[in-house]
Amino acid sequence: MTKNKYFRSLMNTKWVSIYRRRFLNFKGRIQAFLISDEEMNKRLYKKKKQKNLNLASPKTFSEKVIFLKLYYRNPLVTLCSDKYYVNEYIKACGFEHIIKKTYGVYRNANEIDFSALPDKFFLKCNHIQGSNKLINRNEVVDYDYLKKYYNVLLKRNHYYTMREWGYKNIKPLILCEECLEDKNGNLPTDYKFYCFSGEPKYFMVSYGEFEHNVRNHKFDMQMNSIDSYFKEDVAIAPESIKIPDNFEEMVEIVRELCKPFPHVRVDLYNVDGKIFFGELTFYSAGGFINVHSQEMDLLIGSWINLDNYQIDLTKKVN
């Protein structure tokens, strides 16, 4: 094992990762005092894309999403970025029946009575990405570590990572939700719909999200593969993917949920024909999206018509 691989392995051990997260949170808060949101995103864009960020007259997908991240201030974005209170939006849209069961909501991990919970469930935070953990009480579980881990996450503000405004004012909570499984005991496939100016334009079928072994493929709404526009190597062959029989019902739900927004990703699950809501994401990849075709990048960017959302923009577009 090389020194770099050894160091990364060490930094990912569970107790070290807790203190690493504390450090990164502290670092992000300090940077927020020293560097403006706009300057931070310009630097990140230059580093990731090797070119300057055009915020005066954004054209590409990334430029438009970063512009929205910095200047789009619809309060509904904060509500819907909150993985707990987004359920109020789902209910208001008439889709209460697709909301997963919530077994508990906690302000502190020490409040969790694990003995009162089902044998299998998910823990996550409402205010950040990537906090999902599948807990199986029939296996060996380090509850002390879980409490420490989630209490550290409660102190983190996801806004500081890439200055994603929607997360800035969310009150942190820990959620305990049902574990969705199909009739064979498999965790669900994730269907991510990318929506622009109130209309889904393409979607991604993603396997292995919960198992941290992600394989996915993107399609347009006519079921044509568009995966090659976003990555060099195909992770899973499109012909091996079975689209659910009630896919059109999923699309109709997505159309309603995405209506108010210039851009949002709507995530749904489909478990043996039953549809469940996942989450709404407003800043795909933090705005730093890789599109391998300049023509496609500009086409996707054109789907976000900023002129239609001027009332919620703090900066005008040239």
Range of the domain at 165: 10-36+101-179
- Ranges of the chain with pLDDT below 70: 1-26
Q: CA–CA separation, 19 vs 22, rounded Å?
A: 5
End position of a domain, from candidates 126, 152, 179? 179
Same domain, 167 and 298: no
Kind and range of the H or E element at 159? helix 159-162
Same domain, 154 and 210: no
Are the CB atoms for 97 and 110 separated by under 8 Å?
no
Q: 3-state secondary structure string, 252-264? A: HHHHHHHCCCCEE
- 7-45 pLDDT, tens digit per residue, is 454 445 666 666 666 666 667 777 777 899 999 999 999
CA distances 148 to 9, 188, 313, Å, are: 20, 28, 39
Same domain, 150 and 240: no
Q: Is 2 inside a domain boundary?
A: no
pLDDT value at residue 309: 97
pLDDT value at residue 10: 44
End position of a domain, from candidates 112, 147, 179? 179
Same domain, 26 and 168: yes
How many domains are contained in the chain?
2
Same domain, 123 and 26: yes
Question: What is the number of other CB atoms lying within 10 angstroms of the CB of residue 41?
Answer: 22
Same domain, 218 and 122: no
pLDDT value at residue 7: 46
pLDDT value at residue 18: 66
Q: Which of 79, 66, 81 is nearest to 304 (CA)?
A: 66
Same domain, 85 and 155: no
Phi-psi region at 166: left, alpha or beta (left = phi > 0; alpha = psi -120 to 50)? alpha
- 290-309 pLDDT, tens digit per residue, is 999 999 999 999 999 999 99
Q: CA–CA separation, 159 vs 77, rounded Å?
A: 13
Are the CB atoms for 276 and 98 separated by under 8 Å?
yes
